[in-house]
Chains A and B, each alone.
Chain A
Amino acid sequence: MRVAKHPILDDLDQSKKVTIYYNGKPIEALEGEPIASALINAGIRSFRLTQRRHEPRGIFCAIGRCTDCKMIVDGVANTRTCVTPVRDGMRVETQDGVGRFEKPAGTAEGDGRP
């Protein structure tokens, strides 16, 4: 839910909207906001699944420190959604485990493992 009106802060400017795709489903977002806040506004709190037990995780720090919010964004795994701004047409997917990188054209397949 958006905090549109606030007793101290100015009204939230909701004039510039973009669309992002969460696991294929279109979601409305405000230009400039981080992916995590657009998802939370849409009622989504589970962002990724852990590697071994596939347990859900959501945001913890919201300032880019803990990496609990990482997802696959436009094919790039391990993207911290709390500090990555939305872009119109962006694809955001639940990350299961450590995440693989999409194979760039003409290279051997790489995965996210160290």
Chain B
Amino acid sequence: MRKITTDIAIVGAGSAGLCAAYQARSAGAEVLVIDENHRPGGQLFKQLHKFFGSSAHRAGTRGYVIGRELLERVEKSGVTVWLDSVVYGMEKDRSIGVIHDGENIVVDAKKVIVATGAKENYMAFPGSTLPGVMGAGAAQTMVNINRVLPGKRIVMLGSGNVGLIVSYQLMQAGADVLAIVEAAPKIGGYGVHAGKIRRAGVPILVGHTITRAIGEKEVEKVEIAEVDDHFRPIPGTEQIIEADTICLAVGLNPMTELLWMAGCRFCFIPAFGGHVPMHDANMETTVQGLYVAGDVTGVEEASSAMEEGNLAGVSAAASLGLLTFEAAEERRKEILGRLDTLRSGMFGERRRTAKEKQLAETAAYEAGRRE
């Protein structure tokens, strides 16, 4: 088995990984980014909606445009990128196993940044395993990246931002979205997104759930019903919708497998999608020299993933002595300021509280370890 060494290895070429790579490379580190995808960018290139936030976050610019610019910067910076290369494991000493070009290679890096993103949650109901039931992100990938309609008549479950955004993008691609079904008594996502959907004439049915997908070999119809205060379907309220596809927008959960293998400590934060790695303000986990960034640290969105990537890249480079303490502190302060803006407002507060809890749990663990 061939072994190679580098300064910083980054797993994942999504928003977080690419930003981390750019920062670390700009500071002078030798950087290797590894992604199992055929194309870099992670989930960024399927995000056609305009981003929120301040002007520093390119508010009003569409996600895939931001992705294109980021990629260009990274390519120019001299980072090495391995695509079509899967990281299948990580040892306690942070060495990582990669299949690259059909060859099994061990990458021994001085610092490792894991930015593997998140995957979509599943929800079980009778018929939910039928072909035609898929994640909302899967449908988004199909229409915006692969340019194929995964269905013509769609029912969306979940009215958070992903459910609302993807419904709109499915319509832009030519599908009919028949309804957005939401069990909670009110819409989960931003008012702007919901407004666009409503103006397009799609009903958002709050206080409803999908009770059944009906079909022999694939989805042919969908049964929905009203729910009571405990989210139980109310008998007698069932309705049938003639849909061929169900999209589930019921949250994401971090892809933490490599971090568990490496022996990172975790804490449980439901607002972030479940078990998330403990990390300090520099994005370093409880395993020294192992950093995290983006959705793998707790599910947020692309802008915050990019900022966490910046932070991890700067911190890893600084720990190699490539930046002076003062220079690193100055950059970190800027990045943290921008992250703070992203984690404010009606929807941001919840994520801010969750991040504060994660940092506090990490600090408590580290204090206990030093005793």
Contacts and interface: CB of A to CB of B under 8 A. Distances in A.
| A and B part of one assembly | yes
Interface of A: 1-4, 6-9, 12, 32-34, 36-37, 40-41, 45-47, 55-66, 82-83, 85
A7 B120 CA distance: 27
Contacts of B139: 62
A83 B147 contact: no
A85 B131 contact: no
Nearest to A84: B38
Contacts, number: 102
Contacts of A46: 131, 217-218
A56 B150 contact: no
A55 B122 CA distance: 18
A81 to B, nearest CB: 11
A3 B130 contact: no
B142 interface: yes
Chain A interface, >50% SS class: loop
Contacts of B173: 3, 6
Given A1-B174, A8-B172, A55-B129, A66 B119 contact: yes
Contacts of B143: 3
B355 to A, nearest CB: 25
Nearest to A80: B36
A1 B132 contact: no
20 contacts: A1-B149, A3-B147, A3-B173, A7-B172, A8-B48, A9-B147, A40-B148, A45-B218, A56-B218, A58-B132, A58-B134, A59-B131, A60-B120, A60-B133, A61-B120, A61-B135, A62-B134, A62-B135, A64-B37, A83-B36
Contact of A61 (B62, B131, B138, B149): B138
Contacts of A58: 130-132, 134, 218
B148 A37 contact: yes
A8 B38 CA distance: 23
B91 to A, nearest CB: 22
B237 interface: no
Chain B interface, >50% SS class: loop
A34 B48 contact: no
Given A8-B62, A40-B142, A59 B148 contact: no
B131 A56 contact: yes
Contacts of B132: 45, 58
B134 to A, nearest CB: 5
A57 B172 contact: no
Contacts of A55: 129
B55 interface: no
